[in-house]
C-alpha cells in the first residue's frame, strides 16, 4: 500500500474520531450532569410536561399548566429571537441574575438560550418583575411603560395566550 | 436507472431551473428583510395587529429564504453546471435535477407557510419542524447529492479538480450535518445536549457546506475567466483537509456563556482559531491565481463579483477566528456585531461569489450574451455600497451593546443608543434589497432578448487545469 494511502486513512480516522468525541462524548457527558434544585423546579414547569418539539402541531391548549402553554406562545411568536434565557459570564450576572447551572436546563427542549440579544435576558424575569399588570400593559403597548423600547406591540394575541405568556414569565424565577 | 438517465431534457436544464429559482428566492428573501430591519429601527411603522408582519415571525422566514432558498439553490445550480463541465460528461440525470428543483421550490412554500404561522422547533437554524426535516433530507438534499456523485462516477477525466473534491464531500457533509442537527427533533435529546447539537448543526451548515462550496465555485470560475491556471493544487489540498479537520468541530463556541463543559469550549475555541488555515489558504490561492490578470478585476463583471467575495473572506475569517475566543467572546456575543458577521459570511463572501458564478454561467447555459452589463454594474455597486454601510452600522451597534454590558446601564439605554445604527442598517439595507430585482430583470431579459451566441462549444469546457 502506498504511503499516502496510509496517511490519508490516518487523517480521516483522526478527523472522524474528533467529530465523534465532540458530538457523542460531549452529549453523553452533559446528559449525566446531576440536576440542581433549580433545575428540578424548572422541569416541573417546562420540559416534557409542556410543549415540546416532538409535537409541533400542538397549540399549547392541551398543555397541563398555563406556564407550559405560555412557552408555546413564547416560541410561536419568536420572543426568543431577542430575549435570551442565558445570563452570560460577564456583567450580566449582576444585572440579569445568575447564569444557569449545568443541570438547570435538563429536560428542556428547546433550551432557548438564544444567540442574538436585542432585549433584556428573561431567565429571572419572574423574580425581577413581579407586577402582573405591568406585563399585560407591556405586551399590548411596550412603549407606554418603557419609552424607547423596540419590542413589537402584540395587539393580536388572544386573552388566553396573554394569560399563558404572563404565567410563563412568572415561572422564570 | 434508465428512467432517470433517459435524455428528455436538454443539457443544462436543471442548472437553469436552479439558477432562476435561486434568484427569485434572493429577491423574496431580501424583500422580507424590509420588515425585519424596519421593525428594529421604527417598531410601530407597520400595523401591529397582523401577526405575519411581526419581527419574530418574519426573521426565520428571511433567514430560510436567503440561506435554504437563495444560497443552497445557487449551489445546486452551480453543482449541476460545473460538475459535468469538469468531468467532461453530461449531468447524470437532468430529470432528477429538474424534479429536485421543483421539490425544492415546493419545500420553500412549506417553509414559508409553517414558519410565518409560528410552527417552529424554537431551535436556531433548525427551525423546521420534523415532518419538514424529513422532506428536506429526502427530496432536497439527497437527490442533489446523488446527482453530483453519479456524475462524478461517470466522468471521462482521470483526476478530479479541486472544485470536485469540495462538491463531492460537501454533498455528503450537508446530509450528515442536517441529520445530526435534526436529531433532537426526532429523539428525546434535551437540555444542554440539545443546545449543543443545535449549534453544532448551525456552525457546520456554514463550515462544511456554505464555506467549502462557495470556495469550490471560486476555484472554478476565477481560473476559468482569468485564463490562468490555479496557483497551487498543494494549497488546495491544504485548504480541503484543514477545512474538514478544523471546521467540523467548533460548534460549541456558540455556547461560550452556557454551562457546557469547559473542555468542550476550549476544544471548540482552539479549532475555531485554526480555521484561519483553510481560510488563508483559500484567499492566497485565489489572489495568486489572478497574477498578471488583475486588470480584469474591473473589466469582467463576474470576476468583479467573485473576487470581491474572496476579499470579503479576509475580514470574515479574521473575525471568525478570534471573536469566538474567551478573550473577545464575552464582549461581543449576542450583539449586533454577530449579526454583522453573519451577513459578512452569507451576503459578503458567499453571495458575491455565487452572483459572480451566475453572471458567468447562466448566459453560457442560455447560449446568449448578458442582456446588460451596465445593469449588472449598477447591481454590483448598489449591493456593495449597501452591504458596507449595513455592515459598518451593525458592527458599530454591536460595539455599543458590548460597552453597555460592561457599564451595567439599564438595558433600555443600550436599545436607545443603538437606534441610529438600526436606522443606518435599514437605509443601507434598502440599497441591497432594491438591487436584487435588477439582477432578476437582467437575467430574465438575457433569457428573452440577450444576443444569441452561435458557438455552442464554450458551455461545457473544463477548467484550464485539471489535476
List the domain boundaries for chain B. Answer: 9-449
Cell 470556495 belongs to which residue?
B215
- pLDDT beyond 50 at B283: yes
pLDDT confidence of residue B47: 93
Contacts of A22 in chain B (CB under 8 A): 200, 249, 251-252, 264, 267-268
Question: Of A95-109, B132-146, B248-262, B330-344, which range is least confident?
Answer: A95-109
Burial class of residue B40 in the structure, from the number of CB atoms within 10 Å of its CB (0-12 exposed, 13-18 middle, 19+ buried): buried
**Total residue count of chain A as it appears in this document:** 173
Residue pair B320/B280 in contact (Cβ under 8 Å)? The answer is no
Query: What are the beta bridge partners of residue B368?
Result: B452
- Same-domain pairing of A28 and A67: no
Averaged over B167-171, what is the pLDDT?
A: 95
The band of B249, judged by pLDDT with boundaries at 50, 70 and 90, is confident
Averaged over A104-126, what is the pLDDT?
A: 86
C-alpha B394/C-alpha B415 separation (Å) is 13
**Which residue in chain A has the smallest CA separation from B341?**
A116
Percent of chain B at pLDDT > 70 equals 97
pLDDT confidence of residue B462: 47
pLDDT confidence of residue B8: 78
Contacts of A47 in chain B (CB under 8 A): 190
- pLDDT beyond 70 at A37: no
Q: How far is B173 from chain A (nearest CA, A)?
A: 12
- B87 vs A3 pLDDT, higher one: B87
In a 3-state reduction of DSSP, which class is residue A83? strand
- Same-domain pairing of A120 and A60: yes
A53/B129 Cβ within 8 A: yes
pLDDT confidence of residue B44: 93
- pLDDT tens-digit series, residues A124-144: 898 888 899 999 999 999 999
Say how many C-beta atoms besides its own lie within 10 A of residue B6's C-beta: 11
- pLDDT beyond 60 at B457: no
Question: Of A76-90, A134-148, B20-34, B231-245, which range is least confident?
Answer: A76-90
Q: What is the largest CA-CA distance in chain A?
A: 76
In a 3-state reduction of DSSP, which class is residue B126? coil
Residue whose C-alpha is closest to residue B442's, from B375, B396, B393, B385? B375
pLDDT confidence of residue B408: 76
The band of B259, judged by pLDDT with boundaries at 50, 70 and 90, is confident
Residue whose C-alpha is closest to residue A112's, from B405, B190, B178? B190
- Same-domain pairing of A14 and A83: no
Q: How far is A144 from chain B (nearest CA, A)?
A: 12
Residue pair B22/A41 in contact (Cβ under 8 Å)? The answer is no
- B158 vs A103 pLDDT, higher one: B158
Residue whose C-alpha is closest to residue B70's, from B124, B14, B28? B28
The band of A57, judged by pLDDT with boundaries at 50, 70 and 90, is low
A to B CB pairs, distance under 8 Å: 212
**Which residue in chain A has the smallest CA separation from B41?**
A150
The band of A23, judged by pLDDT with boundaries at 50, 70 and 90, is low
B422/A88 Cβ within 8 A: no
CA distances from B164 to B72, B87, B89, B350, B428 (A): 17, 9, 13, 18, 37
- Same-domain pairing of A11 and A79: no
Sign of CA dihedral B358, B359, B361, B362: positive
- Containing domain of residue A21, as a range? 1-32
- Restricting to B residues 100-129, those with a Cβ less than 8 Å away from any Cβ of A are 118-124, 129
**Which residue in chain B has the smallest CA separation from A92?**
B405
Residue pair B365/B357 in contact (Cβ under 8 Å)? The answer is no
The band of A49, judged by pLDDT with boundaries at 50, 70 and 90, is very low
Question: Of A1-5, A129-133, B3-7, B104-108, which range is least confident?
Answer: A1-5
Contacts of A120 in chain B (CB under 8 A): 411
Beta-sheet strands, E only, within B49-155: none
Q: What is the CATH number of the domain that holds A58?
A: 1.10.760.10
Highest mean pLDDT among A59-63, B184-188, B220-224, B268-272: B220-224
pLDDT confidence of residue A48: 37
Averaged over B165-179, what is the pLDDT?
A: 94
Averaged over B66-70, what is the pLDDT?
A: 96
Helix (H) or strand (E) holding B233: helix B233-246
Question: Of A41-50, A136-145, B331-340, which range is least confident?
Answer: A41-50
- B398 vs B455 pLDDT, higher one: B398
Contacts of B186 in chain A (CB under 8 A): 54
Residue pair B29/B70 in contact (Cβ under 8 Å)? The answer is yes
- pLDDT beyond 60 at B282: yes
- Same-domain pairing of A80 and A164: yes
In a 3-state reduction of DSSP, which class is residue B368? strand
C-alpha B324/C-alpha B268 separation (Å) is 9
- Same-domain pairing of A166 and A151: yes
**Which residue in chain B has the smallest CA separation from A116?**
B334
- pLDDT beyond 80 at A42: no
Cell 477548467 belongs to which residue?
B463
**Which residue in chain B has the smallest CA separation from A152?**
B43
Stated pTM of the model? 0.90
B55 touches chain A (CB under 8 A): yes
Task: Output the DSSP codes for B171-203.
Answer: HHHHHHHHHHHHHHHHS---HHHHHHHHHHHHH
A78/B334 Cβ within 8 A: no
A76/B120 Cβ within 8 A: yes
The band of B206, judged by pLDDT with boundaries at 50, 70 and 90, is very high
pLDDT confidence of residue B372: 94
Averaged over B135-139, what is the pLDDT?
A: 95
- pLDDT beyond 70 at B373: yes
The band of B460, judged by pLDDT with boundaries at 50, 70 and 90, is very low
Would you tell me the crossing angle of helices B301-322 and B336-343 to the nearest 10 degrees? 140
**Which residue in chain A has the smallest CA separation from B131?**
A56
Q: How far is B330 from chain A (nearest CA, A)?
A: 6
- Same-domain pairing of A107 and A46: yes
- Same-domain pairing of A52 and A16: no
Averaged over B321-345, what is the pLDDT?
A: 92
- A47 vs A91 pLDDT, higher one: A91
Contacts of A48 in chain B (CB under 8 A): 188
Average pLDDT along chain A: 77
pLDDT confidence of residue A93: 72
- Same-domain pairing of A10 and A52: no
- pLDDT tens-digit series, residues B25-36: 999 999 999 999
Cell numbers given for B288: 495568486
- pLDDT beyond 80 at A26: no
A78 touches chain B (CB under 8 A): yes
Which of B195, B261, B330 lies at the smallest CB-CB distance from A90? B330
ipTM above 0.95, yes or no: no
Residue whose C-alpha is closest to residue B431's, from B375, B383, B377? B383
Average pLDDT along chain B: 92
**Total residue count of chain B as it appears in this document:** 467
Would you tell me the crossing angle of helices B211-226 and B352-366 to the nearest 10 degrees? 50
- B95 vs A44 pLDDT, higher one: B95
- Same-domain pairing of A16 and A72: no
Question: Of A59-73, A106-120, B139-153, B278-292, which range is least confident?
Answer: A59-73
- pLDDT beyond 90 at A118: yes
Topology at the third CATH level for domain B9-449: Cytochrome C Oxidase; Chain A (1.20.210)
Residue pair A97/A87 in contact (Cβ under 8 Å)? The answer is yes
Question: Of A9-13, B435-439, B460-464, which range is least confident?
Answer: B460-464
pLDDT confidence of residue B273: 94
Residue pair B20/B363 in contact (Cβ under 8 Å)? The answer is no
- Same-domain pairing of A130 and A165: yes
What do you get for the CA distance between the two ends of chain A, in Å? 63
- Restricting to A residues 84-143, those with a Cβ less than 8 Å away from any Cβ of B are 84, 86, 88-92, 94-95, 99-120, 142-143
CA distances from A51 to A86, A95, A115, B128, B299 (A): 20, 29, 21, 16, 57
- pLDDT beyond 90 at A173: no
Averaged over B295-300, what is the pLDDT?
A: 93
Say how many C-beta atoms besides its own lie within 10 A of residue B465's C-beta: 16
In a 3-state reduction of DSSP, which class is residue B452? strand
- Same-domain pairing of A4 and A75: no
pLDDT confidence of residue B172: 93
pLDDT confidence of residue A107: 73
C-alpha B404/C-alpha B266 separation (Å) is 26
Percent of chain B at pLDDT > 90 equals 80
Number of domains in chain A: 2
Amino acid at each position: 500500500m502506498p504511503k499516502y494511502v496510509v496517511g490519508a486513512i490516518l487523517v480521516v480516522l483522526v478527523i472522524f474520531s474528533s467529530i465523534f468525541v465532540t458530538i457523542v462524548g460531549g452529549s453523553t457527558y452533559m446528559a449525566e450532569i446531576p440536576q440542581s434544585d433549580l433545575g428540578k423546579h424548572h422541569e416541573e414547569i417546562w420540559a416534557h410536561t409542556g410543549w415540546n418539539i416532538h409535537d409541533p402541531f400542538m397549540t399549547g391548549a392541551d398543555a397541563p399548566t398555563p406556564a407550559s402553554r405560555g412557552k408555546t406562545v413564547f416560541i410561536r411568536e419568536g420572543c426568543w429571537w431577542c430575549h435570551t434565557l442565558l445570563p452570560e459570564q460577564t456583567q450580566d450576572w449582576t444585572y440579569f441574575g445568575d447564569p444557569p447551572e449545568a443541570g438547570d436546563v435538563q429536560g428542556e427542549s428547546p433550551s432557548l438560550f438564544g444567540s442574538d440579544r436585542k432585549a433584556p435576558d428573561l431567565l429571572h424575569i419572574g423574580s425581577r418583575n413581579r407586577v402582573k399588570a405591568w406585563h399585560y400593559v407591556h405586551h399590548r403597548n411596550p412603549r407606554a411603560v418603557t419609552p424607547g423600547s423596540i419590542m413589537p406591540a402584540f395587539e393580536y394575541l388572544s386573552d388566553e395566550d396573554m394569560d399563558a405568556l404572563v404565567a410563563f414569565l412568572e415561572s422564570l424565577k | 436507472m434508465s428512467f432517470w438517465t433517459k435524455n428528455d431534457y436538454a443539457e443544462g436544464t436543471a442548472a437553469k431551473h436552479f439558477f432562476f429559482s435561486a434568484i427569485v428566492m434572493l429577491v423574496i428573501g431580501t424583500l422580507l428583510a424590509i420588515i425585519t430591519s424596519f421593525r428594529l429601527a421604527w417598531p410601530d411603522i407597520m400595523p401591529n395587529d397582523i401577526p405575519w408582519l411581526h419581527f419574530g415571525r418574519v426573521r426565520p422566514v428571511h433567514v430560510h429564504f436567503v440561506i435554504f432558498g437563495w444560497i443552497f439553490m445557487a449551489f445546486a445550480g452551480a453543482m449541476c453546471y460545473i460538475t459535468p463541465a469538469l468531468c467532461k460528461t453530461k449531468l447524470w440525470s437532468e430529470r432528477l435535477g429538474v424534479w429536485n428543483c421543483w421539490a425544492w421550490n415546493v419545500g420553500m412554500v412549506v417553509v414559508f407557510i409553517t414558519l410565518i404561522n409560528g410552527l417552529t422547533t424554537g431551535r436556531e437554524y433548525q427551525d423546521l419542524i420534523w415532518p419538514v426535516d424529513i422532506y428536506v433530507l429526502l427530496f432536497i438534499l439527497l437527490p442533489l447529492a446523488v446527482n453530483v456523485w453519479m456524475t462524478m462516477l461517470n466522468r471521462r477525466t482521470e483526476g478530479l479538480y479541486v472544485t470536485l473534491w469540495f462538491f463531492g464531500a460537501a454533498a455528503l457533509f450537508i446530509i450528515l450535518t442536517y441529520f445530526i442537527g435534526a436529531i433532537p427533533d426526532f429523539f428525546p435529546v434535551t437540555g444542554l445536549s440539545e443546545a449543543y447539537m443545535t449549534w453544532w448543526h448551525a456552525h457546520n451548515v456554514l463550515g462544511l457546506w456554505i464555506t467549502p462550496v462557495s470556495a469550490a465555485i471560486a476555484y472554478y470560475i476565477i481560473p476559468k475567466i482569468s485564463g490562468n491556471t490555479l496557483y497551487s493544487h498543494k494549497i488546495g489540498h491544504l485548504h480541503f483537509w484543514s477545512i474538514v479537520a478544523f471546521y467540523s468541530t467548533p460548534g460549541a463556541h456558540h455556547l461560550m456563556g452556557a454551562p457546557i463543559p469547559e473542555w468542550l469550549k476550549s476544544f471548540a475555541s482552539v479549532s475555531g482559531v485554526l480555521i484561519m488555515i483553510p481560510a488563508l489558504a483559500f484567499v492566497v490561492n485565489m489572489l495568486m491565481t489572478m497574477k498578471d490578470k488583475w486588470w480584469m478585476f474591473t473589466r469582467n463583471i463576474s470576476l468583479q463579483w467573485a473576487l470581491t467575495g474572496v476579499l470579503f473572506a479576509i475580514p470574515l475569517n479574521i473575525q471568525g477566528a478570534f471573536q469566538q475566543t474567551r478573550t473577545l467572546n464575552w464582549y461581543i456575543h449576542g450583539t449586533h456585531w454577530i449579526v454583522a458577521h453573519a451577513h459578512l459570511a452569507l451576503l459578503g463572501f458567499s453571495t458575491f461569489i455565487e452572483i459572480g458564478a451566475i453572471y458567468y454561467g447562466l448566459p453560457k447555459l442560455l447560449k446568449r450574451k448578458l442582456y446588460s452589463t451596465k445593469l449588472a454594474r449598477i447591481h454590483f455597486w448598489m449591493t456593495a455600497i449597501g452591504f458596507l454601510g449595513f455592515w459598518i452600522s451593525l458592527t458599530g451597534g454591536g460595539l455599543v451593546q458590548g460597552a453597555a454590558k460592561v457599564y451595567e446601564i439599564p438595558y433600555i439605554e443600550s436599545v436607545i443608543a443603538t437606534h441610529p445604527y438600526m436606522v443606518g442598517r435599514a437605509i443601507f439595507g434598502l440599497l441591497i434589497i432594491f438591487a436584487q430585482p435588477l439582477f432578476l430583470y437582467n437575467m430574465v431579459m438575457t433569457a428573452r432578448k440577450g444576443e444569441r451566441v452561435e458557438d455552442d462549444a464554450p458551455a461545457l469546457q473544463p477548467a484550464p487545469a485539471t489535476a
